[in-house]
Chains A and B, each alone.
Chain A
Amino acid sequence: MSTHRFLVMTRSAPYGTSAARDALETALTCSVFEQPVTLLFLDDGVFQLLKGQAPASIEQKNLNAMQQSLPLYDIERLYVSKRALELRGLSAADLILPVELIDDAALPALLAQHDTVLSI
């Protein structure tokens, strides 16, 4: 099977829609098929990586548990929009995993490094 670089791009808050979970499922599946995968968090998607989530009271599973398995699947390239994070009063220290902050101006180059971009 050929190697194909996937980028999964997600912009939605962690709960309220299934987007965060579906994006993670897609990234994990790419990894199971031994394809390198990068995750890119834009807009409200930056909230997905917030530490200390406690969604039990809305009867949702905690995304943090699934996110912490990402390194086990060799998914270590996590990019977070610097501007989206700052606009929401957050910093990389608030996030559950180590990430690379990316400037908006650098996004086209990041997308161009990948063979397939999936927006979820």
Chain B
Amino acid sequence: MIFSIIVQAPPVQSQGAETALRFTRAVLAAGHQVHRVFFYRDGIHNGTDLASHPQDESSLPAQWQALAQEHNLDLVVCIAAAVRRGIVNEGEAKRYHHEHWNLAPGFELSGLGQLVDTCLQADRVVTFGGRS
């Protein structure tokens, strides 16, 4: 079965993003496919390259990257949500005249159309962190 995962929860303040990560791992472990993980709303903070965690904790952005690398996952961050919240890649940084950028490698900025597209491709769409 083909799954699409939509993450609206930020990495630290709520558990939604961690649950999404574990769910994605479980889907893959059960032999299903993940068409795309789409990060929307505060979920875009999962795509930061600048999060630092205490040694006895793990960084969610790093775990997404590792999982994506292992399974060739498409990690897409909503560009409108990200630019508003200050998560940008080099291209967007230049467009908005910022000197720095912070989108982690392995994540890609794209439009909300990619959310609609992944729903069209999937047998199951699961959202995490809605309702707030």
Contacts and interface: CB of A to CB of B under 8 A. Distances in A.
B132 A33 contact: no
Interface in A88-120: 115-120
Interface stretch (A15-23, A60-68, A78-86): A15-23
B130 A29 contact: no
A25 B132 CA distance: 16
Contact of A29 (B8, B113, B120): B113
Interface residues of B, number: 20
Interface string B90-113: 000000000000000000000111
A81 B123 CA distance: 28
A55 to B, nearest CB: 18
Interface of A: 1-2, 4, 6, 9, 11-12, 17-19, 22, 25-26, 29-30, 32-33, 35, 115-120
Query: Chain A: interface secondary structure?
Result: mixed
Given A22-B81, A26-B40, A116-B125, 4 more contacts: A19-B131, A32-B113, A116-B122, A119-B131
Contacts, number: 54
A115 B80 CA distance: 26
A11 B113 contact: no
Contact of A120 (B8, B116, B117): B8
A18 B113 CA distance: 19
Given A32-B113, A119-B131, A120-B130, A1 B40 contact: no
20 contacts: A1-B120, A6-B119, A17-B132, A18-B41, A19-B131, A22-B41, A22-B81, A25-B112, A26-B115, A29-B111, A30-B116, A32-B113, A35-B116, A116-B122, A118-B119, A118-B127, A119-B130, A119-B131, A120-B8, A120-B127
B117 A33 contact: yes
Contacts of A9: 130
B5 interface: no
Contact of A12 (B113, B120, B122, B132): B132
Interface string B38-71: 0011000000000000000000000000000000
A60 to B, nearest CB: 14
Nearest to A19: B132
- Ranked 7 nearest A-B pairs via Cβ: A119-B130, A29-B112, A116-B119, A33-B116, A116-B125, A120-B130, A4-B120
